[in-house]
Amino acid sequence: MELTDARVAELERIAFQFAARVRTCDPEDNRRWLVELLPDPHDWFRLNFVLAAAVPEDRPWSEMTRWTHQTKEERESAVPLAFAIDPASGRVMKGCGTPAAARRHKERGEDLDPACRDAIRAENRLKKRRYRAKATAQLVTR
Ligand SMILES: [Zn+2]
């Protein structure tokens, strides 16, 4: 099969979701998910190349896989993930520590965790700074 740019992009999207799922979902669920998305075993081979291309070669393996030796609680209290899996749809979402995740907590009526609280504060600071910069620019150019 010819590997088009669109196909590579699809494999990249799957690789990214797979990386998120490996950290958060049950291995057997991940196997089923992968086989359903990629029924052709040749694609599993291709996916290895896509995943390998994303591995930073300047960092030790032990550092990149440190999360595998941590408990779920340790992982959740560590640096927030940039993404999370929606258990209902299986889709990748922005993880805690992002304004998107904080808004999601609010929509669901959940309390904000420290990472999401910081993300909202940082976003508000940025908005205020932008507003002031714009207001100042309007004063100067008037
Ligand atoms: Zn959160």
Q: What residues contact residue 1 under an 8 Å CB cut-off, 6+ apart?
A: 7, 42
Q: Tell whether 48 and 108 lie within a shared domain.
A: no
Residue 129, classified by CB atoms within 10 Å of its CB into exposed (0-12), middle (13-18) or buried (19+), is: exposed
Q: Tell whether 125 and 84 lie within a shared domain.
A: no
Q: Tell whether 15 and 81 lie within a shared domain.
A: yes
Q: Tell whether 121 and 73 lie within a shared domain.
A: no
Full residue range of the structural domain in which residue 15 is found: 1-95
Q: Tell whether 80 and 136 lie within a shared domain.
A: no
Q: Ligand 1: distance of its center to the CA of 25 in Å? A: 18
Q: Tell whether 68 and 49 lie within a shared domain.
A: yes
Q: What is the pTM of this model?
A: 0.54
Q: What gap in Å lies between CA 103 and CA 98, rounded to an integer?
A: 9
What is the count of structural domains for the chain? 2
Record the tokens describing residue 79, joined without a space.
């640096």
Q: Tell whether 65 and 120 lie within a shared domain.
A: no
- Predicted pLDDT at 80: 55
Q: Tell whether 20 and 72 lie within a shared domain.
A: yes
**How many other CB atoms sit within 10 Å of the CB of residue 39?**
9
- Predicted pLDDT at 32: 94
pLDDT level of residue 38 (50, 70, 90 thresholds): very high
Q: Ligand 1: distance of its center to the CA of 51 in Å? A: 27
| pLDDT averaged over every residue in the chain | 84
Q: What residues contact residue 33 under an 8 Å CB cut-off, 6+ apart?
A: 21, 25, 90
Q: Ligand 1: distance of its center to the CA of 69 in Å? A: 23
